[in-house]
Amino acid sequence: MTDKPVIIFDPFPRNEEMVFTSDVEKELKQISHLVTHFGSRAPDDKIEQNLPEVEIIVGQTSMPKERLDKAKKLKAIINVKCNWEPNIDYIEAHKKGIYILSAAPAMAPAVAEACIGYAISLSRRTIQNYNKFLKSEEKYGIKGNQEAYTLFNSNVGLVGFGNLAKSLVPLLKPFKCSISAYDPWLSNEYLESQGVKSVSLEKLMSTNQFIFILAGVTNENEGFINKDKLKLIEKDSSVILVSRAEVLDFDEFINLAEQNFFRAAVDVFPEEPVPFNAVFRKDSNILFTSHVAGAMHFSYKNIRDMMMDDIRQILKGMPPTRLQRAEPHQAMLRRDK
């Protein structure tokens, strides 16, 4: 075996264009003995034969305790899919001092930018005005803006205060919004230190003209925004869903939005790709996009830059500084897909 540290690069469903561009490949080959697999998750035999020497794994490779015990030199697992999957023994990795890292912070800026676009599109009724224009039914000036309202000086609620919310808050600042947040994993004092007011979920849903659903899904909060919570939303508020569809009663959310109880933008779905015969594939008041809020070359460059920066740090014996570290108990609760 070479004296260079072994790195396993097993990034599926990410591909070469996303995380293994020529500059990344060149540097990794210079600084490591590189083992790669693309197009699917690496076969078990390929992983097993490299476990004794591997120092860094990039990907969503299954790493239960049995494998962690064999990987005596392992320093870090870097998840470039940007989630926490339930195929790692997070507690055991923590005990062994192995960093479990996610590239989620790399995606957050682009998603936050999209959130602003969705919010303004909803509040200005952009889709409706566009459709009227195509039918030669448009009205000009204030007559065409009777149902519009502004993000400026509005009440904004954030359901979840993780990477997405932290990237969104600075973008909301110029609009002088009053921002509240609900996140049961964080203290009231911490949220207030971030410039947002900590409130109950019920108050958040019932008092904000803009609501951004940014929470990740766990085995404790699946479906926690139920029908009763959705019905608390103020009439004609704008609700933006960009995180995980499993945190709410998706069918009821779509039903209420289609009945104009509130305005909605949806970028994530319980099943992706969405089936061709999905009942909500029709002319609608809802602004639908296909999980594209963060999927940009800008975001993938962020992933590569953060990943390589932390790989360099780890191989120097230093702690990673760019990617998000897993908190073991919280990561074990996650039900990301």
pLDDT tens per residue, range 4-58: 999 999 999 999 999 999 999 999 999 999 999 999 999 999 999 999 999 999 9
Q: Give residue limits of the domains in the chain.
A: 6-105+297-333, 107-288
Q: Evaluate if residue 2 carries a pLDDT over 90.
A: no
Give the Cα separation of 214 and 279 in Å (integer). Answer: 24
Tokens of 333: 């609760």
How large is the average pLDDT for residues 87-116? 97
Instruction: Tell me which CATH code domain 107-288 carries.
Output: 3.40.50.720
pLDDT at 332 over 80: no
pLDDT value at position 336? 66
Q: What was the pLDDT predicted at 330? A: 82
Between strands 324-325 and 99-102, the pairing is antiparallel
Whole-number Å distance between alpha carbons of 212 and 243? 9
The pLDDT value recorded for residue 337 is: 60
Q: What is the 3-state secondary structure (H, E, C) of 102-164?
A: ECHHHHHHHHHHHHHHHHHHHHCCHHHHHHHHHCCCCCCHHHHHCCCCCCCCCEEEEECCCHH
Question: What mean pLDDT do residues 120-149 have?
Answer: 96
Q: What is the DSSP letter of 143?
A: G
Separation CA 189–CA 194 (nearest Å): 9
pLDDT in tens, 300-323: 999 999 999 999 999 999 999 999
**The residue count for the chain:** 337
pLDDT-based confidence at 83, cuts 50/70/90?
confident
The encoded tokens of residue 310 equal: 């932390």
pLDDT at residue 123 tops 80:
yes
**123-162 exposure pattern, b = at least 16 Cβ within 10 A, e = fewer:** bbbebebeeeeeeeeeeeeeeeeeeebebeebbbbbbbbb
Q: Is the pTM of this model over 0.95?
A: no
d(CA 79, CA 131): 41
Average pLDDT over the chain reads: 95
Q: Which of 42, 36, 57 is nearest to 100 (CA)?
A: 57
Whether residue 260 has pLDDT greater than 70: yes
Residue 127 backbone phi and psi in degrees, to 5 = -60, -45
| pLDDT for 247 | 96
What pLDDT band is residue 88 in, cutting at 50, 70 and 90?
very high
pLDDT for 120 equals 98
Amino acid in the structure at residue 285: N
Same fold, 6-105+297-333 and 107-288: yes
Other Cβ atoms within 10 Å of 19 Cβ, number: 23
**What pLDDT score was predicted for residue 291?**
96
pLDDT at residue number 60: 93
- What is the model's pLDDT at position 242? 97
Please answer whether residues 287 and 268 qualify as being in contact, where contact means their C-beta atoms are separated by less than 8 angstroms.
no
Assess whether pLDDT exceeds 90 at residue 328: no
Percent of the chain with pLDDT over 70: 98
The tokens 């001092």 sit on which residue? Answer: 97
So what's the pLDDT on residue 85? 87
At residue 335, the pLDDT reads 58
| Residue range 254-275: mean pLDDT, rounded | 97
Q: Does domain 6-105+297-333 have CATH number 3.40.50.300?
A: no
> What confidence tens digit (pLDDT) does each residue in 141-192 have?
999 999 999 999 999 999 999 999 999 999 999 999 999 999 999 999 999 9
